[in-house]
Amino acid sequence: MGDGLFAVNGGDGSPNGGGGGSGGRLVVNYLKSYLSSSYPDQSHNWYGRSQIKGGRSGAVTFQRSNPKAGEDGTVFHSKCFPGYSGVFCQACPVGTFKYDYSYGACLPCKNKPESSYYNKEAETSSMCSYECNSYLENSFTNKDCLDLA
């Protein structure tokens, strides 16, 4: 189990002026990430974050120069299995999905009826799992989560 922050941020500009430094480069490469036997162990026990921000600009502006903030850095990582995304290949949160083995991001689900809620993470299809709100008959017998009373 672990969590923490991987940060490769750029430095801030001087209070006397000057631009901020660019963010760095973060490379995360999982050994054997292409093997189904590593799924979802790639990040099963890691709940960290990454930060690759550019530094802030200096406070003073000059007659011919206006200091700017540094550009954000770049991130490279292994492809993630369906239902997993991001630098650490974490499960797509409840209410999102990812179709394939790729670098893609989790996308929002849009299939639940109004009186329901999504109930499963790491979805691999846009037809995400949902349950009807507690005061309604369950979604197995009431697919549209309608108030049948």
CA-nearest of 8, 1, 107, 89 to 45 is: 1
Domain parsing of the chain, residue ranges: 1-78, 92-149
What pLDDT shows up at residue 87?
80
What pLDDT shows up at residue 38?
56
User: CB burial class (10 A; 0-12, 13-18, 19+) of residue 66?
Assistant: exposed
CB pairs under 8 A, 24+ apart, for 98-103?
98/123, 98/124, 99/124, 99/125, 99/126, 103/77, 103/79
User: Can you give the pLDDT of all 149 residues of the chain as single tens digits?
Assistant: 567 787 888 888 877 777 888 888 877 766 655 555 555 555 555 667 778 888 888 776 655 567 788 888 887 777 888 998 888 788 899 999 999 988 889 999 999 999 999 999 999 999 999 999 988 888 778 889 998 76
Enumerate the β-bridge partners of residue 51: 7
What pLDDT shows up at residue 100?
92
Phi-psi region of 54 (alpha: psi -120 to 50; beta: other; left: phi over 0): beta
User: CB burial class (10 A; 0-12, 13-18, 19+) of residue 81?
Assistant: buried
